[in-house]
Amino acid sequence: MRKAVLSLVLLLVFSSLALAQRQPYSGPQMNHPTGLGIMIGEPTGVSFKHWFSTKNAIDAGLAWSFAGPGEELHIHADYLWHIPLRSSDPVVRRTNFYIGIGGRVRFENDSRFGARVPLGFSHFIKDTPLDVFIEVAPIMDLVPETDLSANGGIGLRYYF
């Protein structure tokens, strides 16, 4: 069961990579499309993001969930659409609202697999290869039973 669920998550990540549109970069992520960092909240762990264009990216997380009866391993992957905030303020122009669709697996006594819909804001810090983000993600578990829950947190990523 765990291998099948993990295979589904990996399939989601690699199919997102294959289907993504390759467009020239023109935003803050132009020279640094791949980021790695931390996320704190539910779950807490490592965050990965790769930009395909100024509007599309995938993100993934390998983290620990503390919401269950014990510490559970949590893996998620999402395809994201970004909407830059429009403003004359240069700080606001480096901020994006995003929405996405993806999946998550939480390994515990009765491992769970479900769909997530992340919503959040990411902000590129001026003159650095860093972004900060805040996110909430409603989740609908599909296996072993249908259940609703949510993730949320803040994070920081370094782009290289």
- CATH, residue 101: 2.40.160.20
Percent of the chain past pLDDT 70, that is, above it, reads 81
Specify the pLDDT at position 27: 53
- Which three-class secondary structure string do you get for the chain? CHHHHHHHHHHHHHHHHHHCCCCCCCCCCCCCCEEEEEEEEECEEEEEEEECCCCEEEEEEEEEECCCCCCEEEEEEEEEEEEECCCCCHHHHCEEEEEEEEEEEEECCCCEEEEECCEEEEEECCCCCEEEEEEEEEEEEEECCCEEEEEEEEEEEEEC
pLDDT of residue 30: 60
Instruction: Look at residue 14 and tell me if it is in a domain.
Output: yes
Tell me how many domains the chain contains.
1
110 occurs within a structural domain? yes
Query: Is residue 79 in a domain?
Result: yes
- pLDDT band per the 50, 70, 90 thresholds, residue 4: low
Tokens 């539910």 identify what position?
42
Within-domain flag for 116? yes
110 with 5: CB under 8 angstroms?
no
Average pLDDT rounded to a whole number, residues 79-105: 91
Q: How many CA atoms lie within 13 A of 20 on its CB side?
A: 23
The domain in which residue 49 lies consists of 2-21+37-159
What is the pTM for the complete model shown? 0.80
